[in-house]
Structure 1
Amino acid sequence: MKKIKIGLIGLGRIGKMHLQNLANLRDLFEVTAICDPYSAELVELAKQFNISYTTKDYRDLLKHPDVEAVAIASATNTHAEIIMAAARAKKNIMCEKPIDTDVARIKEVLKVVADSHVKLQVGFNRRFDHNFHTIQKAVASGKLGEPQIIKISSRDPEPPSYDYIKVSGGLFNDMMIHDLDLIRFLSQSEVTEVYAKGAVLVDPEIGKLGDIDTAIVTLKFANGALGVIDNSRKAVYGYDQRAEVFGSKGQAFSENDKLSNVEIDLEDGGHLDKIPYFFIERYQQAYVAEFKEFYNCIVTDHQPLVTGLDGLRAVQLALACHQSLIAKSPVQLEY
């Protein structure tokens, strides 16, 4: 089995998780280089994972002869620049979401990728979750008939820091963007209209920073289906991740993952395992699966499950949700 020599750019929380997952996928990947301009752990991580090349400049990593592909987990405002440089260097690319927050910039990136004839997979990991992927297969197979209602609930256990919120681009662009991609995946259709409502119900300081912490968005799809997404920045019981597709022949829905589904009933009442606390724990399997898909799309020369176009559509939907919130009216989507 051919191993792909991969370089990792960005060693924050997500980058270090990717590094560990790539090390666990040693039959598929060999991490040959890592890069981060700010990390104080660069040399230590290189020793820990037996990586021979480190640099603070991604351009040096892209020039390295032992780098065939790259995984980008750097700050959002660097994604577009690094993707285009990697594409021009003829490296296949897996990049965390979003590609950029500006639609025109994303289109520029996608043109460079297309002209360079390389793969670009965007890190919408929820498509690789075992629960959501099973629902999507039921929809795609026609088992549920024509989709009529799609629901997603996505609620974080705690808000991010105020410093993060200041640069996040807002709840729709930072948090709900995952759900906007997932609902396209589950519905098998493009969104034609969004209507967003938002509130500050968790922390007044978030409102002072110009953001919301609670939102409900209703959607209309080209295939006639209706959808709803609800988000909250704080669910005190853990990381709440559920989805449902209701169709003309039946429904498919997923509850939250738990360590087990066993209920223990005692004199003081029933007891269940708690749901996972946050995304790295909840989507551990999905993060590994997305790298397996990245490997397969390279060696078999097929398009990734999450393409650059999917990355563009998610940002377009997030921007439309923000526009709807401000305008207090539905927004039509034209692509």
Structure 2
Amino acid sequence: MPPEKQRVGLGLLGTGRVGRLHLNSLCRLRDKCQVIHVADPFIERHREWLEELGIHKLSSNYKDVIADPEVKAVYICTTTDTHGPLLKEAAREGKDIFCEKPIDMTLEGAEEALQVARSAGVLLQVGFNRRFDPSFANVRERYRSGEIGTVDIMRITSRDPEPPPSIDWIKSSGGLFHDMTAHDFDMCRYVAGSEIEAVCAAGAVRVDEAIGQAGDIDTCVVTLWLENGALCSIDNSREAVYGYDMRMEVFGRKGMLRALNETPTRVESVKSEGTLTDKPHYWFRERFPESMLRQAESFLDAVMTRSAPLVSGADALTALRVALAADISMREKRVVRVDEIKLSREAAS
């Protein structure tokens, strides 16, 4: 009999909202991987669930996962402020890495983390899962094929159904532009095939005063100038009472492509009072399972074939630069060029 197909031994750090979603995807890909070791500071809360999934190496210390010789690749799904240090430690141990965005809170920290990964020769993929969404990917493919000609305007809407679970989470998130709008920055440049040249951002606290007291915003509108001459507008909110609102529109010289919200069904009830349809999926767990699965497949394929991941560390660094430009734009109420955002050593040279 031929030998069993080799599977990638995985370790997962963090079993919060995103970690659980990643783990569910990986458990659907048992022909390509085996989740061997999981760490979380509150691992006992999740022990029963993890053991039901067949995972029995459980730890409250992330170092146990990184040091495990059976673990060949690590998923970093911890709080934002820990991504950079964990990425560097995993890279130095020779582990391939999937890391949620952003890879660090600062430009210097992100560049250092990427340099460590490069020097270690490990693969790094960053979690911009919307690139793998079937609808968004279809818009990109059809625009790139020339279906609607040259793009003039893009519009992206991303609104959560409810604020994050705690103010402590807000404080460790890096802020709305880094935690939420970063996905939209990445989608803009990925779909348009052009880099973002300048940013004008406005933000407000409209949902929860406690978010403002924690130093963040919960509502924003951002205008982007692209190098190819196109314009992109983005709007975000931490609370859309009707569900998870994820839409994108690309307007070109020959027409328009539009990705609308996904709903549980496409059934319409048409009566004398009017037409009733389903609301959008309530949260990202329901909206993006397919994109998360495709994202995991992409990472595992890259690890097994030693090929470049679809979403690189350079993509994460670019999104971070744009988010930092948005921070300055909102604070100083001006248009900020992305090339203003430099490492401190670059600015000094």
Q: Is 1:192 matched up with 2:219?
A: no
3-state secondary structure, aligned to 2:235: strand
Q: Is 1:17 matched up with 2:54?
A: no
2:131 aligned partner: 127
3-state secondary structure, aligned to 2:19: helix
In structure 1, C-alpha distance between the alignment counterparts of 2:113 and 2:279, rounded to whole Å: 42
Dislocated runs of 4+, deviation >3 Å: none
Which of these residues, 235, 241, 244, is aligned with residue 239 of structure 1? 244
- Report deviation, 1:285: 1.0
In structure 2, C-alpha distance between the alignment counterparts of 1:66 and 1:57, rounded to whole Å: 16
1:39 aligned partner: 43
| C-alpha contact 2:103 2:316 (8 A) present in aligned 1 | yes
Q: Is 1:294 matched up with 2:299?
A: yes
% identical aligned pairs: 44
Which of these residues, 178, 182, 191, is aligned with residue 187 of structure 2? 182
CA deviations 1:22-72 (Å, max 9, x no partner) are 112111111111111232235424421222422222222222221111111
* Aligned positions of 1:1-335 closer than 5 A: 1-160=5-164, 161-334=166-339
| C-alpha contact 1:42 1:54 (8 A) present in aligned 2 | no
3-state secondary structure, aligned to 2:44: coil
- Report deviation, 1:269: 1.6
- Report deviation, 1:196: 0.6
| C-alpha contact 2:156 2:249 (8 A) present in aligned 1 | yes
In structure 1, C-alpha distance between the alignment counterparts of 2:115 and 2:214, rounded to whole Å: 35
3-state secondary structure, aligned to 1:40: helix
**Unaligned stretches of 5+ in structure 2?**
343-349
Partner AA of 2:123 in structure 1: K
In structure 2, C-alpha distance between the alignment counterparts of 1:328 and 1:10, rounded to whole Å: 37
Partner AA of 1:14 in structure 2: V
CA deviations 1:79-105 (Å, max 9, x no partner) are 111111211222111111110110011
**Unaligned stretches of 5+ in structure 1?**
none
CA deviations 1:187-242 (Å, max 9, x no partner) are 11110100011222223333333322211100101111111001111111111100
Partner AA of 1:216 in structure 2: V
Q: Which moves more between the two structures, 190-199 or 293-302?
A: 293-302
- The TM-score, its normalising length taken from structure 2, stands at 0.91
